[in-house]
Amino acid sequence: MKRARGIVALRIPGVSARLTDDGDDQPTDEYIPGTLAIVEKATGVFIEWTPQGEDECGWVLADEDSGHTIPSLSPKPVDASSSSSLPSSGPLSPHSRLRFSVDVNDLSSFKNVEPKKGKKGHPCIRLIAKDGTNYVPLYFLTQSTKDFIDVLQRYVTLRRSAREHQLVLVVDEKAEALAQSLSTLDQNGDIMGRFMHNPYATAMTGLSKITTFVQDQVIPAILDSDAVSQEEKIRAMRELRTETDDTRLKISREADFEVVTQLELPPRPDIFRESPVTQAVWSSFKHSDGSFDQAKSHHMMMNVFRGGVETELRKEAWKYLLGYYEWSKTPAENEKKRAKLEKDYLRMKGQWTSISEDQESRFAKYVVRKALVEKDVARTDRTLKFFAGDDNPNLAMLHNVLMTYCMYDFDLGYVQGMSDFCSPLLYVMGNECDAFWCFVGFMQRVHANFEKDQTAIKVQLNQLRDLLMIVNPKLANYLESHDSDDMYFCFRWLIVWFKREFSFEDTCKLWEVLWTCQPCPNFLLLICAATLDRQTETIIENKFGLTEILKHVNDLSMHHDLDEMLTSAEAIFHQLSASQDKLPMHICEHLALGDKSVVGTPSGDEDDE
């Protein structure tokens, strides 16, 4: 049967997608040319982006006009042979997976980023769906985003967020109507009056437990009436409170409210990143005999913390940062240590390479481990040139290092995620022995994350929630009221130290920064907090729930700005540090604030509650 292909309401060629990274050694800032369209179809109105060289219509049909391409279920299910002839399985260009089509009714909002004043660049739009999906950022190379927004407005009502300028929300008419009626109520002084009586501002931004109804319905509704005046009111009230209140954290019970007065943190200082430490700077911290000057060690760590190290320096610097080489020893002494450890490595390697097939047949535990390692080596960073292709000797090296680690720590064994940690080390070191001992040093810091009971990771997730309560109570509250305060959506960040969120190069930089343990152990948690902090308005204004939050956070992968994350995390650190005496004990403990003894020691992952 013939069906209409839809009316194209708008078609803009020259709209390119951009991947921050395509997994190769060097981050590429490649634009993928394509066409953006708004199409009216029988099933609804769709925003569609197609990479150049692909059949726009054909694809449109393939995904939406199900009558043609989706095999029918009845009367009899398709069998194996016929399902393999689905049109969707045809050859696809490398960028086909970026192709998308989204129903305007499924659109929740979009980010509209204009190039900074005086800077070159192109306006960008990133669509966010109601299920939390972030679509690939689209850059308008030949025109402004105005036409797109104008045409889109024929189908949906748009409103720019008052709180985050770049965020444009698709307005849900019903929710808006509710908000309207509530704000009318409010004008009668009814609801507002009650909130004024009880600390409204605190309820809004403090750590409060309020009835679900108030939290889920009333507060968002009031907030969503959005007129700037509402915000003004809140701010005014907060200021009023802080004038009269002791800013110390205290808990009081008032009627149905369990109110924790919000701690006012000082403003976040401006932080600047610096350029990576060069060979010359690195050497300037050494004595003439090549050992490091202990008196300058803090200064040097801060240098590495502020800028990382130059690529060429990594091979040397990482050995020290990971505790494989000792700062206080001369190069000759370290070389001696290395020679000894190399023997150790070969000895342990020999322990498993000498296991014969016959032995294996009676060594099930070992065979299972080996299979796990093999499975993961085959899937680790294969897009990187260093690990690309079959029979790549680097794969065998990765395998050997991980297997030998199993022998080094048989109780722990191999756990997924370890290959993610090992791969950059091998890439930088270029040989098994050095990679292995660096890996041992790294594992010392993250060992607990991989242990069977998983308490360490849960402790960190709890600590993150506690931190967020102080740093961004509004978001912490929101997460709590949306079943997300277990913070499980940050699991991947913590377990592999953001390896999956950044390009390879950025991952290396992040890790060397973290290895310095500056400005506090557990700085990783502050990075998580800073990253979430940036997503506050997106999460709240899109009214994301449990699943959408997870999706949104997952989709941020490869779209983070490392330097920005690091500077905000450090700024938060200074904020907290400046208010140490007012912070609850457990927060100070999480960050080892005021504890001088921790500088330079591995991060305190094994903290208990």
Partner 1 sequence: MNREDGDDSFDYLFKVVLIGDMGVGKTCVVQRFRNGTFVDRQGTTIGVDFTMKSLIVDGKRVKLQIWDTGGQERFRTITQSYYRSANGIVLCYDITCKQSYESLERWIDDVSKFAAPNVVKVVVGTKADLESERIVQVEDGEQLQRRHGMLTFIETSAKENTNVDKTFYRLAETLKRQHDAGMSIESQIEGIRLNSGSTPVGGLWQKYESCCRY
Token pair, residue 208, equals 């409060």
Residue number with CB closer to partner 1 (48 or 589): 48
Backbone angles phi, psi at 135, to 5 degrees: -80, 165
Tell me: does residue 144 bind partner 1 (CB under 8 A). no
Applying the rule CB under 8 A, the residues between 51 and 70 that interact with partner 1 are 66-67, 70
The least distance separating partner 1 from the CB of residue 211, rounded to whole angstroms, comes to 17
CA dist 201 and 446 (Å) reads 40
Cβ closest to partner 1, residue 128 vs residue 321: 128
Task: Read off the DSSP letter of residue 214.
Answer: I
d(CA 369, CA 375): 10
Does residue 371 interact with partner 1 by CB under 8 A? yes
Among 408, 458, 404, 460, smallest CA distance to 431 is for 404
**Closest to 494 in 3D by CA, of 538, 448, 536, 540:** 448
**Residues whose CB falls within 8 Å of the CB of residue 490, separated by 6 or more in sequence, listed in order:** 461, 464, 528, 532, 553
Q: Where are the beta strands (DSSP E) in 177-272?
A: 207-209, 251-254, 257-260
Closest distance between partner 1 and the C-beta of residue 478, in Å? 11
* Residues numbered 397-426 forming contacts with partner 1, rule: CB under 8 A: 415-417, 419-420
Contact call for residue 217 and partner 1 (CB under 8 A): no
595 binds partner 1 (CB under 8 A): no
**Shortest Å distance, C-beta 375 to partner 1:** 4
Site for partner 1 in 514-553 (CB under 8 A): 542-548, 550-551
Shortest Å distance, C-beta 580 to partner 1: 32
Identity at 582, one-letter amino acid code = K
Q: Which of 33, 66, 65, 64 is nearest to 50 (CA)?
A: 33
393-408 and 418-429 helices cross at what angle (nearest 10)? 120
Q: Judged by CB under 8 A, which of 161, 230, 554, 575 binds partner 1?
A: 554
Task: Fill in the per-residue mask, 93 to 112: x = in contact with partner 1 (CB under 8 A), - = not in contact.
Answer: ---xx-------xx-x----
Interface positions, 375-394, toward partner 1 (CB under 8 A) = 375-376, 378-382
Binding-site member from 92, 196, 339, 396 for partner 1 (CB under 8 A): 92
Minimum CB distance to partner 1, residue 548 (Å) = 7
Produce one character per residue of 177-188: b if its CB has 16 or more CB atoms within 10 Å, e if not: ebbeebbeebee
Identified binder of partner 1 from the candidate list 7, 42, 236, 240, rule CB under 8 A:
42
**To which H or E segment does residue 370 belong?**
helix 364-377
d(CA 148, CA 140): 10
Q: How far is the CB of 422 from partner 1 (least distance, A)?
A: 13
Q: How far is the CB of 71 from partner 1 (least distance, A)?
A: 6
| Binding flag, residue 133, partner 1 (CB under 8 A) | yes
Q: Tell me how far, at minimum, the Cβ of 230 lies from partner 1, in Å.
A: 19
Q: What is the footprint of partner 1 within residues 442-461 (CB under 8 A)?
A: 450-452, 454, 457-458
Residue window 351-370: x/- pattern of binding to partner 1, with contact defined by CB under 8 A: -----------------x--
**Closer by beta carbon to partner 1, 54 or else 264:** 54
Identify whether the C-beta of residue 85 lies closer than 8 Å to the C-beta of residue 134: no
